Structure 1
Amino acid sequence: MLSSRLFWKIFSVTTAITLISAGVVIWILAFRQSEIIHSMIDERLQNSATLLTDQMESAFREPPSSEIQQQLKSLQQETGTRITLIDANGYVLGDSAEDYEAMDLHNNREEVREAMNRGIGFSERYSDTLNKSLRYVSQRVGPAGKPLGVVRVSLPVDRVDGQVTSFQKVIWLTATICSLISLFFTYIMVGRILKPLQEITEAAEAITSGKLRQEVDITSRDELGLLGATFNAMSRNSAARFEELQLKSRELAENSERLAAVLGSMVEGVFAIDSERKIIFANRAAQKLLPLPTTDVTGRIYLELIRIPQIQELVNTVLTGYCQTSLEFKLNQSQATVAAFGTPLPGETAPGVLIVLHDISELRQLENMRTEFFSNVSHELKTPLAAIQAYAETLLNGALNDPEHNTVFLNNILQHTERLHDLILDMMQISRIESSTDVFEIHEVHLEQSINTCLTALAPQAEAKNVELKFDCNTANPLVLADAEGLRTIFENLIDNAIKYSPQNGTVTVRSYQNNSPDGNEVTVEVTDTGPGIPMEYQARVFERFYRVDKARSRELGGTGLGLSIVKHLSQVFGASLELESKINKGSTFRVTFPVVIDDQQY
């Protein structure tokens, strides 16, 4: 009990109230008793002065004498007070304590003036004659019109104060004893009241530490007993509910783990935000896509981590409108295109937002490629058809009978027809390759023979442009697994492009060499030109269909724009890798690497 802070609080307050109340009572009693004693002293002095007025009236009519002095001294011994006779002019006629002849005029004394005016006067002051404080009462002798003088009776103040102090000591002693008795009973009563509360506190602390079903033994029939019974019932109910909550918590945890595993394995990013804009869940896909920190972000304000205006707009729309909504945006950092779907979490007023993120970059890229493909096909088909139509209309309008121009127009029609035919063949070939409907006869093919065949076929085109063809062969005619026609198509397209983009008096070099790789022997064929080169930002797209770095120059040189795309797809079919190395004004090198099957020298 002594260690209880509540006990000492209540006991301290009670003690303070008791002591303050006792002090106030003592002060009131002492003050009142002092007034009573002073009033009694004044009344006693006044009675003495009244009696002496009748006895001493004759002394004011006669001159001072020793008999009067002796009489005053006798009266002082009887009454215990000092008696002084003062005439109307302030002269002392007699004094029971001092020699009246040596005393000063007393007409300026307060009690004397007041008695002369009002009949009686009171005063308390220091006496220069006796060198002590006295209490004076003066009574006028004679009528107010012709007073004979005053009789003054006085008593030392220290005697009065002694009586007051003596009585105050009794009061203080009585109050102290009563206060101690009150504090003792207060100590006992506070202890009895707080003991059940301490039991309840200890039981509550035990419940807090995990020891359920705590009960207290309080048998009193007052409010504390009712509190104890209520606590016991609450403890039993709380223990039963806690066990039930534990069971439900385990079930909820298992369901949450399963849900987290499902959401975590999803390709789509999923994260949820509550009504206070705090993140309550985010799976790995969402953390990677947005991106979010790899640490736990639960409980953090999403605006601190996700500074994407579209996401903010989506969250505000769902929370304010309580409706599903979606939007599409591109991330600045990764340049990924994301489709976001927001839906309110279940509840009367939307308690939060569930957002699902789909990375549709590849889909949008495919759509763009399809759109661009159809646009390019339409343009590539339209150009030769428009030329053929123009030449045919010119011939029909009279140029057919013009021997100087009709042959030229017919040759141009034939040239555009051949270009249109080549374009259609290339489109059909790349379509078959991509759809895997083109059946290739994969067998061992001599690499050097295919290269020589292509060089021989394209030699006239190089000579016409005065471009030198070189073949730097550093292999022993290796064998590769490929379709012979498809292999020639690869080299024809690469060498044809090199000739077209090399300037007059330029050089096209075909080089083959064998190298060792971790997966086995490989052979690499490089086709290098001395053309203008390809800027770095365009090198990743040169293998796309109909893509041209310089469209005007490419159409001027001829070709369908599908050659390098066909090379890429055929290389993938034959298990070869394709690389590009190019520098501005220094030419380009296309590098194709095939796995080697067998070398002729091994026969």
Structure 2
Amino acid sequence: MIKFRTRLLAALLSLLILVFASLGFLLVHLFHTSYDEKLESRIKKEAGFIAGLSDTDHLQSPEQGERLQKASRELDSAVSLIDTKGQVLFHFGGRPDRSVIKKAVQSVDSGEGVRINPDDDSRFSFAQPLQKGGKLYGYILIDSPVDPDAGINQKIWILLGVSLGTAFLIIAGLGARITSQYTTPIESATQVAIELAKGNYNARTFNEDETMLSQSINMLAQNLQDMTRAQEMQRDRLQTVIENIDSGLILIDGKGYIHLVNRAYQKQFHVQADQLLYHFYHEVLEHEEIINLIEEIFMTETKVRKMFHLPIRIERRYFEVDGVPIIGMNDEWKGIVLVFHDMTERKQLEEMRKDFVANVSHELKTPITSIKGFTETLLDGAMNERETLQQFLSIILKESGRLQTLIQDLLDLSKIEQQNFTLNIQDCEIGEILTEIEMLLKNKAEERGIALKLEKPEEPAIASGDPHRLKQIFLNLVNNALTYTPEAGSVTISAEVLEDAVQVKVKDTGIGIKKAEIPRIFERFYRIDKDRSRNSGGTGLGLAIVKHLVEAHHGEIDVESEQGKGTVFTVRLKRAPH
């Protein structure tokens, strides 16, 4: 892009060259015109003078010839004497052409001389009639070359060239000065404006002479920079608040596209921001209840608050959702903000307060009732029968063990949920732990006619964890799998070493779990098959303990199940550093 100063100088120089060229052509034209006028005036006078010296009575006399010859020599022109019939009587300096003579005879009608060839710029031919007493005796023909001094033309153009060069230098100097003083600040201001348009608010103009334009541009840049800093600070504050509040937040525009998802929402629903951002809410939100809430706000344009119990992976969580319409200036519809308050812990505490006594009472009632009933029967006389006594005491021992297990599980769960609960973290070889569990439960599997298989990786599966608690996790999972697997089924324990984790799967071919029940299996006292669980001595707290222990190890547990085909529990633990 040609700079402004270059364009300005080019325009000035072009104008200068045009002016000097026009002036040169004008001067040359004026010179030629003046030369022609002077030449014509001189030859007229010379022709009249020669005619006055001519003797009309003796046109062919030697004296006449001498006079004409002398005049030709003095005037440096061709001089000829022609009679009225066109015959050349005398000629000096060159014989005239017949065409010129003919034109001279035809052109002279009066006593005035006339130029014969006005269109010929190379020669000047002039015919002067010789008259006396009104009678025409002949013609004096003067032929002179038109030879304006070519040196004059050259001098004119040299003078104009020198003047043009001088003017060029002067204008170049003045132009450089002017452009430096006036156009440089403009160019600098233009460049700064371009940078400001790009978002570079640090751009400034720096000139020796601070013009009003430069000052204004710099002030504008400073104001824009201050405004941008203030907006960035406000944006950072707002972003910090949004990203660090405990409640999930979604911003949906007026067309239904998601424009903001904070960190809390991603954590609550186990999603990534790029899965939701700039997508239509109906296409990416999984829960029908939330979609219906959004549609309600779109239709009513009023604030809505509702409580939902939503399935999130393998659990169900309570959310209090506030939906607020965003109304701009002039009641312009902008969109919706949804705020998700996770009320799960509060709800769980409320339900725990309500259900704990009932659940514990219910779980304790059966063994205590059995113990009491059989004890009363023995006291009523059944103890005298040895066989009956032994049978009843065995039942009392079994129910006491069940009661002890329930109390121990309650104590373990209470201990795990305490804030000061700590783990004895060390490097654990998962294969060895699984081998111990296989040995412990092998007899139980054989008694139930279930094939218990262990698949260990070839390389050591070293995880960071508490070996006692890890053993408790896998013992509970395998024991559950054996409990809910019918005879002739199989339970497979497999371990796999991933890039940054150790993954353990417990797969059975048991009764399976309904999809609707999967989120609830980690709740306290929840049983899929209550009769089967109680008959096996289960307390309903095993999976709750497993979940809390896995979370304490900062691991993950997933469940995949199909009713009637079996269940797979997957536990991922952090791999020990190499």
TM-score normalised by the chain length of structure 1: 0.46
Q: Radius of gyration: which is bigger?
A: 1
TM-score normalised by the chain length of structure 2: 0.48
